Amino acid sequence: MTGILERNAENIEPELTSSPTPVPLSGLPQSPNAPASRSVRISLVIICFLLTLQFAQAAQQILVPLLLAMFFRTLLIPVIRSAQARAKVPRWLSSTIIMLTLFVGLATIVVSYSGLISKWFDELPGRIQEIHQRTMPLKRSLHRVSETAESIAKIAEVSTSPQRSVSVASGSLLVSVITESSEVLASFALFFLILFFMLIYGDQSVNDMVRFFSPHEERANQLLETISEAEHQVSVYLITVCSINIVLALVEFLALSLLGMPNALLWGLVAGFLNFIPYAGALVGAAALGLTALFTFPLTQALTVTAVFYGITVVEGSVLTPLVLGLKLVLNPVLVLVWVVLWSWLWGIAGAFLAVPLLVTAKLAVEHLHDPAGSFKRIFLST
């Protein structure tokens, strides 16, 4: 009996000591929570995006001057660095000169054309009646419906109403303009203040922040190099776009001068300024110029002036800008349009001007990320 038990123990012992055969992971069924976890990540991204938009709208008075100062600093910092390296000019001195130049230039433009713009607003009710009379032949040629003609006649009667109603509208408009002007002046003051300190202490502040959050020397140097490269690319883009818009303003000025358009220099500046807004800027500028041209020229000549103005902008956007910038900075048109609409809804005119620089900055930042599949890049690129 004892021998039988010993033989049974010998047979059981290897089974207990041997390790079980591992089951390959590929043979296991996938966890049913995998799609759920992906949905959770997508939901978190959407929530974070909506919270970011909410924060951007709430902090508009601070973020708009801050972002404008950051982009102007990126545009102007090569001049300050060059002056410091070659001519040994202190940063505070070159920054002060640049800030005074910007302030004097902006004040000169505002003072030069404020009287003209005020005159346009004063003459607006009479000009509406004049435009109505000049466009009547065009309305007849297009066979407008009688109801449309009656509504236009009612608008004409309102514009010829007693002076008392016009005065009330002008007074309310004046109060609104004064209220908005105070906020604009406060934003401009904050912008100039932030820009001045960024030009002087910006490089040192970035260096200190990177080394504070990344104590390892090698890692900090790599991050600083990446930031410097991205900043250089954004600077090149902004300088190139500003140069293109200056050339556009000069061409529009010469073309409108040859066509006999009054205040051609102002309209050239408007064209260059609005060209920072893709698609919508050209349409707004052409509509404003066409409305003003109807005050001065017959209908055919006014349409010719508007067509030339808009045609030059279209040629610049379709030929010159892609040729100068190259394919590297060509963005997805649908993404650009949605992006401009989004930031215009959030921040108004300032958001429309900041939309494309923000998008270009995001694209250049994505290019420095580890993205082997190129999934992020395909979102930004037009190809």
Cα separation of 383 and 372, whole Å? 17
* pLDDT score for 255: 94
Mean pLDDT of 195-202: 90
SS3 state at 381: strand
* pLDDT score for 307: 93
DSSP state of 88: -
Residue 24: pLDDT band (50, 70, 90) is very low
Least trusted range by pLDDT, from 132-136, 221-225, 292-296: 132-136
Residues 76 and 123 in one domain: yes
Residues 176 and 280 in one domain: no
Does the residue 232 lie in any domain? no
Q: Are 354 and 344 in contact (CB under 8 A)?
A: no
Q: Are 220 and 214 in contact (CB under 8 A)?
A: yes
* pLDDT score for 368: 65
The range of the structural domain enclosing residue 263 comes to 237-383
- Give the amino acid at 64: V
Residues 199 and 314 in one domain: no
Q: 71-113 pLDDT, tens per residue?
A: 999 889 888 988 888 888 898 999 999 999 988 988 888 887 7
Total count of domains within the chain:
2
Residues 242 and 192 in one domain: no
HSE-up of residue 225 (Cα within 13 Å, Cβ side): 6
DSSP string over 128-158: HHHHHHHTHHHHHHTT--HHHHHHHHHHHHH
- Global pTM reads 0.68
Mean pLDDT of 170-174: 46
Residues 244 and 363 in one domain: yes
Residue 304: pLDDT band (50, 70, 90) is very high
* pLDDT score for 193: 92
Residues 95 and 209 in one domain: yes
Least trusted range by pLDDT, from 135-139, 257-261, 356-360: 135-139
* Measured torsion, CA atoms of residues 311, 292, 119, 275, in degrees rounded to the nearest 10: -20
Q: Under 8 Å CB-to-CB from 289, ≥6 apart: which residues?
A: 261, 267, 270, 305, 306, 309
What interhelical angle do 91-122 and 264-274 show, nearest 10?
120
Q: Are 333 and 46 in contact (CB under 8 A)?
A: no
Residues 174 and 243 in one domain: no
Residues 279 and 325 in one domain: yes
Residues 97 and 196 in one domain: yes
Q: What angle do CA 322, 71, 330 make, to 5 degrees?
A: 20
Residue 383: pLDDT band (50, 70, 90) is very low
Does the residue 283 lie in any domain? yes
Q: What angle do CA 354, 313, 287 make, to 5 degrees?
A: 85
Residue 25: pLDDT band (50, 70, 90) is very low
Mean pLDDT of 154-181: 48
* pLDDT exceeds 90 at position 253: yes
* pLDDT exceeds 70 at position 196: yes
Quick one: tokens of 298? 């017959």
Does the residue 88 lie in any domain? yes
Hey, which residues does 331 pair with through a beta bridge?
381
* pLDDT exceeds 70 at position 376: no
356 vs 100 pLDDT, higher one: 100
* pLDDT exceeds 90 at position 252: yes
Does the residue 151 lie in any domain? no
Residue 127: pLDDT band (50, 70, 90) is low
Quick one: tokens of 227? 């930031």
Residues 208 and 243 in one domain: no
DSSP string over 333-344: HHHHHHHHHHHH
Residues 184 and 319 in one domain: no
Mean pLDDT of 39-68: 87
* pLDDT exceeds 50 at position 17: no
Does the residue 158 lie in any domain? no
Does the residue 244 lie in any domain? yes
Does the residue 383 lie in any domain? yes
Does the residue 31 lie in any domain? no
Residues 372 and 285 in one domain: yes
